[in-house]
Amino acid sequence: MKTTYHSEYLKLNTVFIKPANNAFVSEHILKEQWRAHNFLDQPDYKKTLTEYDFFRKALQKNGATLYDFPFNENVSIDSIYCRDASIATDFGMIICNMGKETRINEPAAQLEIFKNNAIPILGIIESPGTLEGGDVAWLDEKTLAVGYTYRTNEHGIKQLKNLLEPKGIEVLVANLPHYKGISDVFHLMSILSPVARDLAVVYSPLMPIKFRNELIKRKIQLIEVPDEEFESMGCNVLAIAPKECLMVDGNPKTQKALIKAGCKVSIYKGENISVFGGGGPTCLTRPMLREL
């Protein structure tokens, strides 16, 4: 079986997650941290455990092997959104440098786990560069898209290019708009979720014209998320296999459009683990190997 790290839509083989009990820890910790981390509301700890159990089972149903990031006292409740601290490549992991100050310790925590599991490290993004995994998406095996945002800056993108371009990887930059400003969670993957080689879920009103045209040029069909489903993370869709998707409950129009495009869609109730913290299924996972 051949595998690659360079995909957002092939069948999931291995994936790292940060279970709710390891990230949120307790009702007390949630009460202490949720405001400082710009959550919309305080998650209910018991409900997070129930929601996450269903989410975990949805990831496993196609046979994916899950690895847990453990509790780490140096990181916050935001660490549940484990995609952001690293980037997976066939040449080794790229350890990010977070643009959100309250998440600054997450990359080092993941680096320790990767080293303990003998997972190669390609490079580490260093200050003044910032780069977050939610701003990065593989379009195909040789093309990585990266958003220039408040979380990922010019220095971080330059370091990313220096690591990958000598290895034959094209790095496409999407210059994202201000939108709600520096304190908001707004990544490239807030407006783009590839779900097959020629299919992606997008929110075009916030998508750079040049980048959107590049997707069309590559013959990628765009499933447009309606305005009323953007804030509820209708655009945050995780492919667990080509055209087999996992998304948070509450986005029926996007779900219907995916089904019409030939996708099989699974839904999870994620008010406490996703909606309150602004992190959908792509944010809750650090996909590793996918099957070619």
**Cβ atoms of residues 8 and 193 within 8 Å:** yes
Buried b (16+ CB within 10 A) or exposed e, 47-68: ebeebbeebbebbeeeebeeee
CATH code for the domain of 120: 3.75.10.10
What is the tally of structural domains in the chain? 1
Per-residue pLDDT of the chain (292 residues; tens, 9 = 90+): 999 999 999 999 999 999 999 999 999 999 999 999 999 999 999 999 999 999 999 999 989 999 999 999 999 999 999 999 999 999 999 999 999 999 999 999 999 999 999 999 999 999 999 999 999 999 999 999 999 999 999 999 999 999 999 999 999 999 999 998 888 889 999 999 999 999 999 999 999 999 999 999 999 999 999 999 999 999 999 999 999 999 999 999 999 999 999 999 999 999 999 999 999 999 999 999 999 9
- The answer to whether the predicted template modeling score (pTM) of the entire model surpasses 0.85 is yes
Residue 64's domain spans which residues?
Answer: 3-291
Handedness of CA 132, 200, 195, 59 (dihedral sign): positive
